[in-house]
Amino acid sequence: MIDPNKIENIGYTAVRRLRHQKFQRGLPFLIASKDLPKTEAYLEYPSGQIDIVSVKGRDFLIVRHLTNTEADTIRARHHLCKYASFGY
């Protein structure tokens, strides 16, 4: 039987790696969250800024910019470090 904690760690590692790759290419990283309505998500930029966006297909409409404190809270809630340049 596979250890559920091991599977969870594999998932976290994959997400962190994808986030790092996105930031290296200058692209934003989409963070889906149960805290938001189904049509909204967090969009994190390589600069560290996080916006709440409304998602419609491949289009994003910015709902609002988060403060630095709010952005730090979202990263902590989703087990993400503040800067993608930290090694994974």
Domain locations in the chain as residue ranges = 4-77
pTM: 0.81
pLDDT of residue 75: 93
Phi/psi for 47 (5° steps) reads -70, -15
Separation of alpha carbons 44 and 74, rounded Å: 10
* pLDDT confidence bin for 3, thresholds 50/70/90: confident
The answer to whether residues 75 and 81 touch, using CB atoms and an 8 Å cutoff, is yes
Taking a C-beta distance cutoff of 8 angstroms, is the pair 40, 63 a contact?
yes
Q: Kindly state the DSSP code that residue 56 receives in the 8-state scheme.
A: E
Closest-CA residue to 51 (of 35, 23, 74): 74
Mean pLDDT computed over every residue of the chain: 87
pLDDT at 24: 92
Asked whether the beta carbons of 28 and 46 are under 8 A apart, the reply is: yes
User: How many Å is the Cα radius of gyration of the chain?
Assistant: 14
